Chains A and B, each alone.
Chain A
């Protein structure tokens, strides 16, 4: 749980539809590269990395109840374009068995894509500075997970302003929008504003996600550093391919 798997039915429809649209847009941008390499060995490689990610996400580190993603490792080896495709495949398959929502596959894919793509660029930059692969791997995984968590939090923050209407519970009083002869005003707008903000305690949510997440980022960072170091020792030049 180093990142959030947004579940179904929590975010407003417009937001998760936007997630699908953005993901489709990204895949469309890279369609040239996919078309060019569609007969190459890249497709089985993407499938294999997607499988590695699905397996790693479905296994918990037992005493800690965390799972790792290996998104940064996959991002570094596959490169940004193929990793976006990989994260979509992973999220769709995970949604099939209830791990993350089906409607929010677009948003979840964008969050995980951000992890891999940021990890890819950070690792490239940090490798020159830190020299040691394990440290560069740790730092790039930690930072990209931190940033992608903030991306997920940003999505929830955008959604939370709409959460009341998304759930449809409670009441929406917009006297200024009411049409007709009669205008019912049962409460002052300031009181209503106060009530809406109490519906979803974003600070509480932020505290929980960052609190649990920080342990996950460190764990994922350490494991990513270890995996990258192992790969570099066993197969030198793997990151150049």
Chain B
């Protein structure tokens, strides 16, 4: 899953971008997204993309992998771009470049900033209770994903998804997700009991020092 890979990149990297304070990085990323949305010329957008790509290379992040991940939202953008073809090819490419630019900015931010730092910085804008939900969700993703890997193995052993047998495949698929949900519900209860035992007051504390220049 991309999320696990980006998380690995964010926590294992040691470049200047990784050491840059998270709050400032978020502000810069949002400013850049603002520019991408407001800029009207394709050439300027290409320049911004070139800047983002050079940041990826300078931060020693895997360029091709990040580029491939950033292509994903283009699937949806292509529908918009295709419907706008009446306006000409320039418009078509501007739509794609805008989507590619904003996606690359977000992926670069996420692959160079550990998630506790992002959520800790968001805590200055969003209510603390919401940040707690973000933390728990993020943690749950990795817990559930490891469970899902086992379920996926079982699903494959039962034939996986076969177009020849759609009914059986969909039934197996639904059971796999049903099982994942039940495991998730049980784990969330266990998680809550653990938190209560440790004195959970609806808020998870985080170390802001970890997210500054001298974290390493």
Residues of A at the B interface (CB closer than 8 Å) are 1, 4-10, 13, 34-35, 38-39, 41, 43-52, 54-56, 58-59, 61-63, 68, 70, 73, 77, 85, 89-90, 92-93, 95-103, 156, 163-164, 167-170, 198-202, 204-205, 208-209, 219, 222-227, 229-231, 234-235
A62 near B161: Cβ-Cβ < 8 Å: yes
Q: With a 10 A CB-CB cut-off, give which of A6, A208, A226 has the most chain B CB atoms.
A: A226
Q: A227–B179 Cα gap in the complex (Å)? A: 8
Q: A7–B82 Cα gap in the complex (Å)? A: 14
Contacts of B144 in A (CB 8 A): 48, 51-52, 55
Contacts of A204 in B (CB 8 A): 82-83
A55 near B141: Cβ-Cβ < 8 Å: yes
Q: A230–B106 Cα gap in the complex (Å)? A: 37
B138 near A227: Cβ-Cβ < 8 Å: no
Contacts of A205 in B (CB 8 A): 79-80, 82-83
Residues of B at the A interface (CB closer than 8 Å) are 1-3, 6, 30, 33, 36-38, 40, 69-70, 72-73, 75-77, 79-80, 82-87, 90-91, 94-95, 98-99, 101-104, 106-107, 109-110, 118, 129-130, 132-134, 136-141, 143-145, 148, 161, 163, 170-171, 173-175, 177-182, 184-185, 187-189, 191-192, 195, 200-202
Q: A43–B179 Cα gap in the complex (Å)? A: 20
> Given the known A-B contacts A7-B80, A9-B101, are A61 and B161 also in contact in the complex, defined by CB atoms under 8 Å?
yes
B178 near A54: Cβ-Cβ < 8 Å: no
Contacts of B107 in A (CB 8 A): 97-98
B102 near A102: Cβ-Cβ < 8 Å: yes
**Partner of A98 from B70, B90, B187, B200 at Cβ < 8 Å:** B70
A50 near B79: Cβ-Cβ < 8 Å: no
Residue on B nearest A197 in the bound complex, by CB: B86
**B interface majority secondary structure:** helix
> Given the known A-B contacts A55-B1, A205-B80, are A230 and B69 also in contact in the complex, defined by CB atoms under 8 Å?
no
Q: A61–B155 Cα gap in the complex (Å)? A: 12
**Partner of A43 from B163, B171, B202 at Cβ < 8 Å:** B202
Contacts of A198 in B (CB 8 A): 86-87
B14 to chain A, nearest CB (A): 21
B197 to chain A, nearest CB (A): 13
A39 near B1: Cβ-Cβ < 8 Å: no
Residue on B nearest A134 in the bound complex, by CB: B174
**Partner of A169 from B2, B40, B201 at Cβ < 8 Å:** B40
Contacts of A168 in B (CB 8 A): 38, 40
Contacts of B181 in A (CB 8 A): 49, 52, 70, 73, 77, 227, 231
B129 near A61: Cβ-Cβ < 8 Å: no
**Partner of A226 from B76, B106, B118, B170 at Cβ < 8 Å:** B170
Residue on B nearest A104 in the bound complex, by CB: B102
**Partner of A101 from B102, B187, B192 at Cβ < 8 Å:** B102
B76 near A98: Cβ-Cβ < 8 Å: no
> Given the known A-B contacts A8-B98, A169-B91, A226-B170, are A44 and B189 also in contact in the complex, defined by CB atoms under 8 Å?
yes
Q: A202–B82 Cα gap in the complex (Å)? A: 10
Contacts of A223 in B (CB 8 A): 170, 173-174, 177
- 9 nearest A-B residue pairs (beta carbon): A226-B174, A9-B98, A47-B136, A230-B178, A51-B140, A98-B103, A205-B83, A8-B102, A168-B40
B8 to chain A, nearest CB (A): 13
